[in-house]
Amino acid sequence: MGLNGDTAVLSSLRVTVEFMKEYSRTRSHYFNITEDHCISETSSGQTHSLPLAPEHVPLLYNPLPLHLPTTNKDALILHAACEGNIDRYARLRRPVMIHHETEAVVRGIYHHTAFARWCHHQPNVAHSPFRDDIRQAALARFIMVNDLSRIADQSTTTTHTITGAECWPDPFLIWLPLIPSELTLRELVRRRPSMLRQVAMACIAADYFQLWSELEPEPDPILWEQATSMGVVNRNQNYYSEDLERRAAEKNVNLLVCG
């Protein structure tokens, strides 16, 4: 096993954080060489996540060498996560997540089914403070590729469980970068009625007007915003916005105010 870049560059020792203002977001940093968590009376205004040195930028698009050079590899970690590259991310990641790593992992999951499956089965995900974000993204990706095997039928069970006590929270975005089939969305809302709004939003994005008519979702500002913002890609934009406006008027619902 080669050196994996798990080293601190000298510049990281010069970073200081003001205890009352910045400590809460830096105390879990993966290095604490000085054994003081970089606490000081004043802040240096620097962060641990420094950019890659120019000579190391080719590491972003070349195979990783056996021995990574001494550098701040955070940029490499984020890039591998965003790209959903399992091999690179599994090798590069640190024992704890770095700043913005969750967002990068979520992006990778949304775009790569294999990465979604791999991330979900990692033991540290179950104990991560960001586990719901990761599980929501994974479930969203599975829905987008028309795989509902991880969604229990709530008509026959009272929990969202899949195996044991494992729970999959409802994702919000289920129509980008891929749009599920109409059959998938119809079955999804049958199995999990709590996702009716998300299914309705996907119907607008995909122009599934038949399923929309069957669902008759309650008008609310989020759906109306979706309907009025999809005109560039949805030829039936007026169908959804006018339907929402008509039913909102009947029910005295203000579509301009989020409750």
Report DSSP state, residue 136: H
Residue range 14-24: mean pLDDT, rounded: 66
- List Cβ neighbours of 41 (8 Å cut-off, separation of 6 or more): 18, 19
**164 Ramachandran zone, left/alpha/beta (phi>0; psi -120 to 50):** left
- Residue 44 confidence (pLDDT) above 90: no
State both tokens at 198: 């998300």
Sign for the CA dihedral angle at 250, 254, 256, 258 comes to negative
Q: Which amino acid is at 22?
A: E
**25 Ramachandran zone, left/alpha/beta (phi>0; psi -120 to 50):** alpha
pLDDT tens-digit profile of 193-244? Answer: 999 999 999 999 999 999 999 999 999 999 999 998 875 456 676 899 999 9
pLDDT tens-digit profile of 244-253? Answer: 999 999 999 9
Q: Is 37 exposed, middle or buried (0-12, 13-18, 19+ CB in 10 A)?
A: middle
Residue range 105-113: mean pLDDT, rounded: 98
- Residue 116 confidence (pLDDT) above 90: yes
Alpha helices per DSSP H over 128-253:
131-144, 182-191, 196-206, 209-215, 221-229, 237-251
- CB of 102 closer than 8 Å to CB of 108: no
- Residue 85 confidence (pLDDT) above 70: yes
State both tokens at 233: 């890609």
